[in-house]
Amino acid sequence: MAMDIVTIEQPEYRQVLKNKAQEIQFPLSQADKDLITAMKSKLHGLGGVGLAAPQVNFSRRIIAIYIPEEATLLRDNVKKFYPMHIMINPSYEPVAGSGVSSDFEGCYSVSSKSGKVPRYEQITVSYYDELGQLHQQIEEGFYARVLQHEIDHLNGFLILDRLTADCVQGSVEEMMALRRASLPPGKRIIFDQVMARKAKK
């Protein structure tokens, strides 16, 4: 299944990106299974950490997550490597007393802006796996940030909706340069290597 990333800058895709995605029924239909397979392949090809179905023009409550080992080298709040996995009909609630922190986020579906987005530091996430088994767990750090970002997509929210006037924000190029400058020299080398690999994809 061929699929392309759609962006909010493309008016014809505003509806799929700004509306709540459709709930998934179990057992999974063949169409949903095919979508999941294609999303995994697409995320690997992009070299990113998360992808939501609306980003590839499907109004379905499915997200794919992949936190590579290199992320643990670039961010202090990455606890471990997360292999490729799928969450179906996911939702989250902040853990009572959870703080809020801001960090750099980009989005494949927003080509005009990036910035430091405020997110809960700890959340309780609920979701179904591909077999229809319900899971509920507490997550924190970068993984929790990625989950909030992707689940936002299923509810019609983009980083543009989270970047308030007091947030550090600007063009994607400006924010990439700012993030790079904020890294210590050792991590900056890794950052450059990662960006070079992504540029080749």
Q: How confident is the model at residue 161 (pLDDT cuts 50, 70, 90)?
A: very high
Residues facing 102 on adjacent strands: 118
Whether the ω angle into residue 27 lies within 30 degrees of 0, i.e. cis, is yes
What residue ranges define each of the domains in the chain, with the CATH number in brackets? 11-200 (3.90.45.10)
**Residue 23 near residue 61, CB atoms below 8 Å:** yes
Name the residue type at position 167.
C
Give the residue-averaged pLDDT of 43-52: 94
CA 171 to chain centre: 18
CA 22 to chain centre: 18
Give pTM, 2 decimals.
Answer: 0.91
What are the two backbone dihedrals, phi and then psi, of residue 170, each rounded to the nearest 5 degrees? 175, -165
The Cβ-side half-sphere exposure at 185, using a 13 Å CA radius, reads 0
Report pLDDT digits (tens) over 166-183: 999 999 889 989 888 988
The Cβ-side half-sphere exposure at 113, using a 13 Å CA radius, reads 16
Q: Which residues are catalytic?
A: 150
Binding positions for Fe cation are 107, 149, 153
Q: How confident is the model at residue 60 (pLDDT cuts 50, 70, 90)?
A: very high
Binding positions are 107, 149, 153
Which one-letter DSSP state was computed for residue 130? T
Is pLDDT of 201 > 70? no
